[in-house]
Amino acid sequence: MEDHIHYVSFLLKSVAAVCTIIAQTLPQTQHSNHTCSAMSLACSEDRTDNASVASVSIIGGGIAGLACASSLVEFGMDVRLFATGQRGVGGLLATRHFFAGESDAAIPCDTACQLFSASHPRFRELCALWEERGWVRRWPGRAVFLRPDGSCRDTQNSREVFVADGGMEYLARQLAVGISSAGASVRTQMWATAAERTRDGRWDVRWDHWSMGVSDYLVVAHSGKCAKRITSSPGLERCHAALKGVQLGVMWCVCFVFADRLGLPFEIGIVEHGRVLSWVGNQTEKLRAGSGSPSTSECWALLSSNEYGWKNKVPQEFVPAGKAESVAADMLAAFASLAKAQGCELPPVQRQYVQLWGAGPPSNTLQEADAVFDPITRAGVCADWCVSPCVEGAVLSGLILADLIWAHHARAPGAARAHHPPGQPRFEPSRRASAIAAFPGWLDPSTSSSSTVAAARRPVLLPGKATIGESCSSAGSRASRWRRAAHTTAPLEVSPAQIPERQQRRWARACGVRNDPALASDKTERPSTGPCLDKCLQMAVTVDELQPGMLLLRGLLTESAQQWVADAALEAGGAGKGPRPRSTGFYRAARGGGLELNAAQEGRGSFVRHLSACDPLFSEICLRCFAAAAAVASPGTLPELDAQACAFNFYEEGSRGIPWHRDIDETNEGLRNGTGRPVVSISLGDDGDFQYRAQRFDDPVQSLRLRSGDVLVFGGPSRGIPHAMTRVFPGTRAGTLRMVPGRLNLTFRHHV
Ligand SMILES: O=C(O)CCC(=O)C(=O)O
Ligand SMILES: [Fe+2]
């Protein structure tokens, strides 16, 4: 047995081996005390008494990672999931929203996975649960194979087929919410760059120079280039070898909103032997059931064939000018001829959107295992390509890896023995023509029903499975234990006090405050005018890198600094101490006499002032805030600061905020090429809801509650984020801040 322990393992696809592990895992509690917590992805016994809580880091927030995380949470493990995608969780469960035509309702469109089927009992049980919760619904639509000669033939689908209401991404988001509300930490837009083994054999997940936390187990639920890089560290050889063998497809998706209904007699068309297209899907029909809104336009998603994807491969981060247009034209032409064969002329296009999936659906499948797990180094991989290129395959792989980790952690006697000598991982081309498939057995007409997920695989079923919906006596207490554990780890900490002076001066020069004596002697206290500069910022804060170039530093300003900034800003804007406002800054003369806020209809006053006309402490505080953000920003994402002016906004109680806009001004060029100089925004007083979109006005809305002392920095690729202040919450500031009712915001930027 000792010999075997030295072997890195693949779990053989053998029911016997797997069941041995699981059966031996829980000898004492097997038939008693069933539990089933909120997620219920895998109901389990209450096993936490058997073993201490172990931690698992999961890199990848696609459906495989989410399934694995959910199951591990069920097992009582302390889970941290790092989603690497630009747009948060979901991976190929991706949905975009568009505005087109007259309608002001957003049109959802699935840009990769269109729907999924369920055949394996374990997955079907899960789908039933998701359905009960309203996360997915059965899809009654018609899917056909489209032949090159223009004929079409119905798919023989005897399986359950699902879509997520509002788009596939919804399912992923609901899973993520469920996982985090069960106490796990789910962090989005975390670009893990490496995983290193610590001296005590644990896993330190790194994002360049930061540690994002150390854990007992590591799961790579992510494919593509970065996954290969992450697994090139010692201890991950097995994972790396498997990842090297997988062939990921390249897929373009083009979404078209047509001005009128097409009247095609199907909702999903699977294009047989398509040179350009592989799938076409009517999003309006597919996603609208339940909403009932009559609409004349129709949105279709067209997915390219893998062959076309490879021929037209370009870097996903940088699609050359004109490429998206030429791909859209090719795909539209291919669709037009398919439609024509059905007797349909395409109506005019109102809107189009192009997306490239550089690490798209896999075209081969690992033969030896449903998941990769190395019990020696406690690391594993789960992915659709381990089982079957579809949602079901991804979920099963995630669940199986969770089973293996749990079995290992619980020291199942058979766990170490169940592994086999290493060899080169074997892959075979997926028998299903396209991974987006989600319809195992549908795509390749020659595939017999015996090659469905259910028949081909022997996934692990936990013994003594509880009935879904059964109450869980101890889930509450376990959840709070994990929550505490998750909160004690603050992976992105920055200590502003330690930022080198040299760097601070460089920024100071960029802002033109070089000659300010206060900065030259920045250790000196300024008792008459302001706080000690060294005490302006908290010693250490947690930073959220919301997306590249956009960082939120919660509560960065100390109370004394908040008080000074609030007093000085209100004073500068004419709302300072005194019997009544002065007609500068926030106020203007009202028509009927007296003064009013200068954006009175919004309950807001605003003005911009050059920094040379402001108290120098403003620039110094701004510089330090920026320095704190720059110290932790991903390399190359945050250009240097060159703020020369400050925009002051004062929102009175009941203010309607500030409408959607971009801070365009001087940086048009930077906005276009993603190198815009950063904006530093400081919030004071009452809480406010800051809404933003990742890049464009049709990206989904994200929301942040900004509180007094918070600092938001956005530059580089995030310089052009559309944003708005949608609501101010009266009376929510900390009692220690003495300020007129309302909210203040200071936005430092180049100049306006
Ligand atoms: O008040 C805020 O947080 C945002 C202000 C803003 O967007 C602006 O002044 O451009
Ligand atoms: Fe703004």
Ordered DSSP codes for 237-262 = HHHHHHHHH--B--EEEEEEEESS--
With a 6 Å cutoff on the Cβ, whether 392 touches ligand 1 is: no
Q: Which residue has the higher pLDDT, 34 or 59?
A: 59
Ligand nearest to the CA of 746: 1
With a 6 Å cutoff on the Cβ, whether 649 touches ligand 1 is: yes
The answer to whether 296 and 281 are in contact (CB under 8 A) is no
Other CB atoms within 10 Å distance of the CB of residue 523: 8
Q: What would the mean pLDDT of 312-329 be, rounded to a whole number?
A: 89
Distance 723 CA to ligand 1 centre (A): 8
Distance 748 CA to ligand 2 centre (A): 10
Distance 596 CA to ligand 1 centre (A): 20
What per-residue confidence (pLDDT) applies to 283? 92
Q: What is the pLDDT of residues 356-382, one digit of tens each?
A: 998 888 888 887 678 888 888 899 999
Q: What would the mean pLDDT of 676-682 be, rounded to a whole number?
A: 93
Max avg pLDDT among 117-126, 231-240, 445-454, 501-510: 231-240
With a 6 Å cutoff on the Cβ, whether 704 touches ligand 1 is: no
| Calpha distance 220→380 (Å, rounded) | 6
What per-residue confidence (pLDDT) applies to 19? 32
What per-residue confidence (pLDDT) applies to 691? 95
Distance 724 CA to ligand 1 centre (A): 7
CA distance to 51, 60, 194, 339, 359, per residue, from 317 (Å):
44, 18, 20, 32, 12
The answer to whether 300 and 350 are in contact (CB under 8 A) is no
Q: What would the mean pLDDT of 187-205 be, rounded to a whole number?
A: 88
- Report which ligand 1 atom has the smallest distance to the Cα of 690: 3
Name the pTM for this structure. 0.57
Q: At what angle do helices 121-132 and 391-409 cross, to 10 degrees?
A: 100
pLDDT greater than 90 at residue 650: yes
pLDDT greater than 90 at residue 103: no
The residue to which tokens 């000792």 are assigned: 2
Max avg pLDDT among 59-63, 160-164, 236-240: 59-63
Q: What would the mean pLDDT of 62-89 be, rounded to a whole number?
A: 89
Q: What would the mean pLDDT of 572-600 be, rounded to a whole number?
A: 81
Distance 89 CA to ligand 2 centre (A): 27
45-82 as b/e: b if 16+ CB within 10 A: bbbbebeeebbbbbbbbbbbbbbbbbbbbbbbbbbbbb
- Protein residue closest via CA to atom 8 of ligand 1: 747
Q: Which residue has the higher pLDDT, 402 or 665?
A: 402
Kindly report which listed range (150-159, 471-480, 625-634) carries the lowest average pLDDT score.
471-480
In terms of Cβ atoms closer than 10 Å to its own Cβ (0-12, 13-18, 19+), residue 745 is: buried
pLDDT greater than 50 at residue 295: yes
Q: What is the pLDDT of residues 726-736, one digit of tens each?
A: 999 998 887 77
| Calpha distance 455→433 (Å, rounded) | 18
What per-residue confidence (pLDDT) applies to 750? 79
What per-residue confidence (pLDDT) applies to 504? 54
- Report which ligand 1 atom has the smallest distance to the Cα of 606: 9
| Calpha distance 536→497 (Å, rounded) | 10
Max avg pLDDT among 91-100, 410-419, 437-446: 91-100
| Calpha distance 534→532 (Å, rounded) | 5
- Protein residue closest via CA to atom 7 of ligand 1: 724
Ordered DSSP codes for 259-304 = SS----S-SEEEETT-SSEEEEEEHHHHHHTTT----S-EEEEEEE
The answer to whether 438 and 113 are in contact (CB under 8 A) is yes
Q: What is the pLDDT of residues 472-521, one digit of tens each?
A: 222 222 222 222 222 222 234 455 554 555 555 554 554 444 333 333 33
With a 6 Å cutoff on the Cβ, whether 370 touches ligand 1 is: no
Place 662 in a pLDDT band, splitting at 50, 70 and 90.
Answer: confident
What per-residue confidence (pLDDT) applies to 619? 85
pLDDT greater than 50 at residue 196: yes
| Calpha distance 21→404 (Å, rounded) | 8
Give 625's contacts (C-beta < 8 A, 6+ positions apart): 496, 537, 553, 556, 557, 680, 682, 711, 713
- Report which ligand 1 atom has the smallest distance to the Cα of 724: 7
Distance 675 CA to ligand 2 centre (A): 17
Give 6's contacts (C-beta < 8 A, 6+ positions apart): 376
Q: What would the mean pLDDT of 121-140 be, rounded to a whole number?
A: 89
CA angle 326, 332, 337 (to 5 degrees): 130
- Report which ligand 1 atom has the smallest distance to the Cα of 647: 9
Ordered DSSP codes for 485-497 = HHHH---SEE-GG
- Protein residue closest via CA to atom 10 of ligand 1: 663
Place 609 in a pLDDT band, splitting at 50, 70 and 90.
Answer: confident
Q: Which residues are registered as beta bridge partners of 493?
A: 542
Q: What is the ipTM of this complex?
A: 0.99
Give 673's contacts (C-beta < 8 A, 6+ positions apart): none
Q: Is 325 helix (H, G, I), strand (E, B) or coil?
A: helix
How many residues belong to the chain?
752
Structure tokens at 600: 């009175």
With a 6 Å cutoff on the Cβ, whether 35 touches ligand 1 is: no
pLDDT greater than 70 at residue 707: yes
What per-residue confidence (pLDDT) applies to 599? 87
| Calpha distance 641→650 (Å, rounded) | 24
What per-residue confidence (pLDDT) applies to 282? 94
Q: What would the mean pLDDT of 410-416 be, rounded to a whole number?
A: 59
- Protein residue closest via CA to atom 3 of ligand 1: 745
CA distance to 78, 174, 301, 609, per residue, from 166 (Å):
31, 12, 14, 45
Helix (H), strand (E), coil (C) string for 606-635: EEEEEHHHCCHHHHHHHHHHHHHHHHHCCC
Kindly report which listed range (309-318, 587-596, 665-674) carries the lowest average pLDDT score.
665-674
Place 335 in a pLDDT band, splitting at 50, 70 and 90.
Answer: very high
With a 6 Å cutoff on the Cβ, whether 725 touches ligand 1 is: yes
Q: Which residue has the higher pLDDT, 220 or 290?
A: 220
What per-residue confidence (pLDDT) applies to 101? 66
- Report which ligand 1 atom has the smallest distance to the Cα of 663: 10
The answer to whether 139 and 155 are in contact (CB under 8 A) is no
pLDDT greater than 80 at residue 600: yes
- Report which ligand 1 atom has the smallest distance to the Cα of 683: 3
In terms of Cβ atoms closer than 10 Å to its own Cβ (0-12, 13-18, 19+), residue 229 is: middle
Q: Identify residue 324 by its one-letter amino acid code.
A: A
What per-residue confidence (pLDDT) applies to 667? 53
Q: Which residue has the higher pLDDT, 290 or 249?
A: 249
Distance 542 CA to ligand 2 centre (A): 23
Distance 544 CA to ligand 2 centre (A): 19
Distance 725 CA to ligand 1 centre (A): 7
What per-residue confidence (pLDDT) applies to 159? 64
In percent, the amount of the chain with pLDDT more than 70 equals 71
Distance 747 CA to ligand 1 centre (A): 7
CA angle 521, 523, 524 (to 5 degrees): 75
| Calpha distance 354→585 (Å, rounded) | 44
- Report which ligand 1 atom has the smallest distance to the Cα of 657: 1
Strand 493-494 relative to strand 541-547: parallel, antiparallel, unpaired? antiparallel
pLDDT greater than 50 at residue 741: yes
Kindly report which listed range (22-31, 40-49, 697-706) carries the lowest average pLDDT score.
22-31
- Long-range contacts of residues 594-602, Cβ cutoff 8 Å, at least 24 apart: 597/650, 597/652, 601/656, 602/655, 602/656, 602/657, 602/658, 602/659
pLDDT greater than 60 at residue 447: no
CA 294 vs. chain centroid, Å, equals 32
- Protein residue closest via CA to atom 1 of ligand 1: 745
The residue to which tokens 């190929």 are assigned: 92
What per-residue confidence (pLDDT) applies to 427? 66
What per-residue confidence (pLDDT) applies to 586? 92
